A and B are shown apart, each in its own frame.
Chain A
Amino acid sequence: MNAPLLEIRDLAAQVGGQPVLRGISLSVGRGEVHAIMGPNGSGKSTLAHVLAGKPGYEITAGSVRFDGHDLLALAPEERARAGLFLGFQYPVEIPGVNNAYLLKAAANAARRERGLPELDAFEFLALVRGKMALMQIDESFLGRGVNEGFSGGEKKRNEILQMLVLEPRLALLDETDSGLDIDALKVVAHGVNSLRAADRSIVLVTHYQRLLEHIVPDFVHVLVRGRIAHSGDRSLALELERRGYDWIGEPAAA
């Protein structure tokens, strides 16, 4: 099982005829944590969306293999059930659908996929209680609408709670640190770190180095204008923090 969990090759995508990803290649091995950094508009969030299967993007070139399978051929829900989790930058509010229902439906969809029996109400509560405590989320939240009236920090903690319940094989966390104060950031980071495991990979999309002080990545990549312009280890993030993004030039076309 030495093949990478995620293998992106020369991936190009456009929105409304405008190229956004212009040939991205990236391998994420099992158990690795990668950070994808870059200035605004560099294509970071687009990459996360394309991997999760969000409609509205046209793939113009390249391939993505997830655990050896063609990821781009799968519908969004199939990608999720196969173990890919997207933590949204802007989690939507869904008034009227309660958190407990969504969590349970999502958990059971994943369990069915793995051939496991579905959780009943008691098993579900037992599973979710400890994880809610870890994310410092009050139990009353289960009966509330999904993200309804939540603060920015609460929404992000809820994303991580969903991740903890789903136990994905690959977590794509899109700007999970944005809009968080330092206390909330620590809670979120603690939640993510609790999931670090040899068979689970994490890709952090972030603009700032701050998150990486709490979730230490194995690799850091810098995205500029839809291409990976630079890759390195954690020290690259620190250098970006010090020098900004301007010093990184565009890569030559492959």
Chain B
Amino acid sequence: MSTATASAAAAATVPTPLARVLNEYRAGAAQGTGGPQEHAARERAALALEQVGWPSTRDEQWRYANLRALERVASFQPVSRVAPTATAAAALMDLPPPLPGFARLVFLDGIRHGPYALPAGVRSVAPQGAHAAQWSAAQRLGWLCEMFATDTAALEVAGEAALELLFVTSEASVERAVYPRLQLELAAGSRLQLVERHLGAPSGPAFVACNISIELARGALLTHYRTQQCGAHVSFTDSLDVRVADEAQYRVRQAALGAHDARTSARVRLAGHEARLLWHAIAVGRGEQVHDTTLQVLHAARATGSEQVFRGIADERARLAFSGHVHIDATAPGSEARQSLRGLIEGPGAEIDLRPRLEISIDEVRATHGATTGRLDENLLFYLLARGLDPATARALLKWAFLGDVLREIALPALRTEVERLAAGQLPDVLAVGAVT
């Protein structure tokens, strides 16, 4: 309790974001949600955040995040657990069509909504407390979610399954915060196709902080599609922590498209021999949007492999950043790592920062990285114009082609079409289908 008193005193004199968060946490914690175990977990999270401190742009891992948006968050208090209001229900009217073969779970403002109909091979288990989570300094906002989240989807997968999780942010979240939380365990040899989508467009500022922890046991295969398509008033952050055991494979196809500002803080530990990570991501920003991703990959066992492919397009005054840090530990001989990061600047005031980083503690590894940022190639553009395509279509086509390295990894046609449509934004409709190989 002495910690709480000290923070409250500090907050009275210096209203830092951290002090605000802790104040709001104390106020909310007094109302009490969950049992003593959950309370203890929240306390640990609050302590951890207090110790690591609020992120600063002076910190390499937070240099490109939109921390000012974070400072302007109206309230860190979660949307209360009440029956959906009419406006909340309205948010559910507008959901994308179901993906064929996928079971769908809906979370409204971070809280499980409607029947929890799990497909064969997936069962609900007791959530682990925050003591299980160990968010890194680059993922420190993960503690925020642990402090405030009121619901957790904890799932265990055995066998083969396809699951779609929709995280919907409703009108009830205006000037409030939303804390979706997912814990996922894949049993040995299991295979899961997981679609994780964040959507909803509240009419005023809302803050979303999502935590996802995943364990892949030996030989498991997870294909994880992630799309962030929130409305323009949402400040979005997600913390993702993944541990990959022997011969297991974790594939990510991520699309950051929406929100006012978005930050992904991911860490993947290749903990067992021949564990693999394939991370393919696109980000398309317009207006004043900020999309920032930090990915830390630790190769900790022999013959592990990782590949990172990032393609970002910044239009108008958008800012994109992708920081990919690969550490090949001394315990990981025979490992391979590849990074291909590319940015396309379209707008006069746009900015893209790509930072590949390799840290290698052993000789017998193969690691390559490339990072380039530039504008559309005028020679390619002229070729298309010389075939009679109008300039807007030609530019759009080249932007498509640029994203193609990632888009073609989306093996679900319905989802790919939807991501293409969203990414297209202002692009002509004619391009929505079939232009990209």
Interface set of A (CB-CB < 8 Å, partner B): 52-55, 75-77, 79-81, 85-86, 88, 91-92, 94-98, 100-102, 105-106, 109-110, 113, 143-145, 148, 162, 166
Contact = CB atoms under 8 A, between A and B. Distances in A.
B383 interface: yes
B268 to A, nearest CB: 27
- Select the residue from A55, A75, A77, A143 with max chain B CB neighbours within 10 A: A77
Contact of B382 (A55, A81, A109, A166): A55
Interface residues of B, number: 29
A11 B344 CA distance: 37
A144 B437 contact: yes
- Select the residue from A75, A85, A92 with max chain B CB neighbours within 10 A: A92
B379 A95 contact: no
B393 interface: yes
Contact of B402 (A86, A96, A102, A143): A96
Contact of B437 (A55, A113, A143): A143
Given A55-B378, A97-B397, A110 B437 contact: no
B57 to A, nearest CB: 35
Nearest to B385: A76
Given A55-B378, A98-B436, A80 B385 contact: yes
B383 A94 contact: yes
Contacts of B382: 54-55, 76
29 contacts: A77-B385, A77-B386, A77-B394, A80-B388, A92-B377, A94-B380, A94-B383, A95-B404, A96-B402, A96-B404, A96-B405, A97-B397, A97-B400, A97-B401, A97-B435, A97-B436, A98-B434, A101-B434, A102-B384, A102-B397, A105-B388, A105-B389, A105-B430, A106-B387, A109-B388, A144-B437, A148-B437, A166-B387, A166-B388
A147 to B, nearest CB: 9
Given A94-B380, A94-B383, A97-B400, A77 B437 contact: no
A77 B397 CA distance: 15
Contacts of B400: 96-97
B390 interface: yes
Nearest to A79: B386
B342 to A, nearest CB: 12
B391 interface: yes
